[in-house]
Amino acid sequence: MPRIFQKISMFFVLLLLTGCATTGIDSPPALQIGTALEPFEIRGVLQKDLQLGGVIRLTGDLFIPLGRSLYIAPGSRLLVVGNDSTKIDPEFLDKGTEILVKGRLAIAGRQMAPVTLSLDESTPAGENWAGIELVGAESVLLSHVDILDAEIGILSLNSSVQLVQVNILGSRYGLLMQGGGQLVYKGGRISGGDAGLLCFDRSALNLSQVSIVDNLEEGLYLARGCSLEQQDLKIERNDLGLIASETYRNGLQPSLRDNRIDFKSLPVETLP
């Protein structure tokens, strides 16, 4: 198909899909579309708000500063060029390719048009990418998204996150909440990594219809100070299913199945 027709057809598909999307961003800028032949390439500091769709190629670290917004439209494929020594100024957190967010990020997939974030085929074998890192981020909403092969699928430092139908697969850590903030996670799966969901410090988790399965180490880790509300949570076939205060043992018993050790209690603190 000639390139111009590809672009036109992609435009109309995205137009239909984006019609009613709730982005969390008041007025997204004009949609810019990449194609398999001509992906939209992005890296560096986001200098203005962007709305991207189609095939997007992340060729290096991306930093979304405070006050700026990135919106990814339904059906997009974000291909990350994995690199073990990327750096971005003014700051970076990981040596791998990362999306560092202090501003606003909305990835608005749909059931029939999910968004995938995965490694670009040019990535050297054995390398992954750092993942999405939130540092006091203003607003983060991911809907119908698959995150594949990251070091930490989503690292949230002092940030609040809304996830709807998000799968984090094959990442070393699925989701790490640290330093406070709220996670509302409705539907999805964290699977195939070392650790599933780790909550440190004092974050508040609200999980419904989430499966944390088949991770080599922990399924769900709830440090002291974290709180959990859940509905239809599954923690299955991990090494350690749930690490938490004793108070969670009974309430979460129905969620725990076929882990090597279903429950491990945080030790009672004693003075050294």
Token digits for 157? 């430092």
Q: How many residues of this chain interact with another protein, rule: CB under 8 A?
A: 27
| Mask for 148-187, x = binds another protein (CB under 8 A) | ---------x--------------------xx--------
The residue (of 50 and 157) whose beta carbon lies closer to another protein is 157
Cα dihedral across residues 225, 226, 230, 232: positive or negative: negative
The residue (of 5 and 260) whose beta carbon lies closer to another protein is 260
The CA-CA-CA angle for residues 101, 92, 40, to 5°, reads: 60
The residue (of 7 and 264) whose beta carbon lies closer to another protein is 264
Which amino acid does the sequence have at 82? G
Token digits for 176? 């790490």
Nearest to 186 by CA among 161, 169, 203, 216: 161
Q: In the range 28-87, which residues lie near another protein by CB under 8 A?
A: 45, 47, 65
Q: In the range 133-152, which residues lie near another protein by CB under 8 A?
A: 135
Q: Is 1 helix (H, G, I), strand (E, B) or coil?
A: coil
Alpha helices (H) in 88-206, listed in sequence order: none
The residue (of 2 and 90) whose beta carbon lies closer to another protein is 90
Query: Cβ of residue 97: shortest distance to another protein, in angstroms?
Result: 17
| Three-state secondary structure readout of 28-92 | CCCEEEECCCCCEEEEEECCCCEEEEEEEEEEEEEEECCCCEEEECCCCEEEECCCCCCCCCCCC
The residue (of 41 and 201) whose beta carbon lies closer to another protein is 201
**What are residue 85's phi and psi, to 5 degrees?**
-145, 55
Q: In the range 198-227, which residues lie near another protein by CB under 8 A?
A: 200-201, 216, 218, 221, 223
The residue (of 102 and 189) whose beta carbon lies closer to another protein is 102
Segment contacting another protein by CB under 8 A, of 6-14, 74-82, 249-257, 263-271: 263-271
Q: How many Å apart are CA 55 and CA 116, to the nearest integer?
A: 10
Query: Cβ of residue 133: shortest distance to another protein, in angstroms?
Result: 10
The residue (of 53 and 153) whose beta carbon lies closer to another protein is 153
Nearest to 100 by CA among 62, 49, 147: 62
266 binds another protein (CB under 8 A): yes
Binding site for another protein (CB under 8 A): 45, 47, 65, 89-91, 93, 135, 157, 178-179, 200-201, 216, 218, 221, 223, 239-240, 243, 260, 264, 266-267, 269-270, 272
